[in-house]
Amino acid sequence: MEMKNKKISTYIAYDKLLMEEIVEDYTNYIYTIIRNFSIGLSKEDIEEVVLDVFLTLWKNQYKLDVNKSMSAYISGITKNLIKYKYRQSKVMANIEDYEEHLIDFTNIELVLAQNEKEEIISNELDVLKQEDREIFIEYYYAEKSIKEISKIYNMSESKVKSKLFRVRKRLNKILNKRGYGSNEK
């Protein structure tokens, strides 16, 4: 059986993930995903993503579907962590851009408001169920279609739409509470 087709159940013994085997089998795979999917991550960021993939897998080991392929989980976690790193570096780059230019106060307020909104959304995404968070990120950050997401998560397109609607509704409610009006109810 090829590594990429191994089910999660092959990496479980005594109800625990065999992390040493997973690290040995998937470290190069993670580096390949990072090389193909990321732009401009530093060596330290890449190392951090690799470690965070395994940490995330370990922390969520009891939520994994043992009949699914390990590579699908590894790939999803890696891509989400790359996006998170990219968003972090993008915010820093935006701040550095503003430091080099004179800005009027209305622009500063807009930047601060946008950064606060992004932080609120990021914090709220962190407390969602893993599947809901991943679907939201796949749709809004990875720009995958509803159809693609439904295939990835083996669910109907209407269920994906429903999950996205519920997450948007939750985010809008939080943003409204924090003083950021929204068009969607």
CATH class, range 1-101? mainly alpha
Closest CA to 23 of 69, 68, 64, 54: 54
Domain ranges of the chain: 1-101, 104-185
Cβ-contact 130, 72 below 8 angstroms: no
Prediction pTM value: 0.47
pLDDT per residue, tens digit, the chain (185 aa), is: 345 568 877 777 787 878 888 889 888 888 888 877 766 677 888 888 889 888 888 887 877 777 888 888 788 888 888 877 777 665 444 444 444 444 444 455 665 666 677 778 878 888 888 888 888 888 877 778 899 999 989 999 999 999 999 988 988 888 888 777 654 44
Torsion of CA 112, 116, 118, 124, to 10 degrees: 180
Q: What does the block give as tokens for 136?
A: 């939201």
For the structural domain made of 104-185, what CATH number should be given? 1.10.10.10
